[in-house]
Homo-oligomer: A and B are copies of this chain.
Amino acid sequence: MARTKREQDRDAKRDEIVAAARRLFVDEGFEAASISRLATAVGVAPNTLYWYFKDKDEVLVAVLDAEFSARMAEYLLLPPGDVTERLLWVAQQLDRVRRLVATVHARLEKSPALNAWHERFHALSEEMLRVELRQAGVAEAAIGARVKISVFAIEGMLAHPLPEAEKRAICAALAAG
């Protein structure tokens, strides 16, 4: 909804920073990618970033938003039906950002903005998983706990990389009616 030319320019610059941050954070991790290096990648002085973002965590939130939207768009295009395969796809996509997932969990307490993002993300994820499990035929009475377990299992697969076969077995167990 940028109206004025000035706001458009500002948003464009902000997007440029987020794009560079996305590459750096995803490829090298949040801690390893310093504000200095990010600024160099964008072509500005380090403190210039603070004109566009309150702090480094706010840059991270913007990166997470961008990453989430991109994956979400693909998820919605997924062929329906085989819930095991759909869960596996989610686990595989999240795998690209597993460093970031660990960072988010580690920084929750320090950054209220990140904490808020995390809660929104989980609310959304649980809603979607609820649909998937219902689709898979999980009994309605058990679905609350089963949704949580599925979310945690998918997160666990990020923190602890497993061979493909084991991942599939886990997703199948999660989708078992």
Contacts and interface: CB of A to CB of B under 8 A. Distances in A.
Interface string A85-108: 000000000000001001101101
Contact of A155 (B109, B122, B156): B156
A167 to B, nearest CB: 9
Chain copies in complex: 2
Contacts of A142: 173
A140 to B, nearest CB: 14
Contacts of A21: none
Contact of A162 (B106, B148, B174): B148
Interface residues of A, number: 31
A155 B174 CA distance: 16
A77 B170 CA distance: 31
Contacts of A156: 148-149, 151-153, 155-156
A172 B153 contact: no
B145 A166 contact: yes
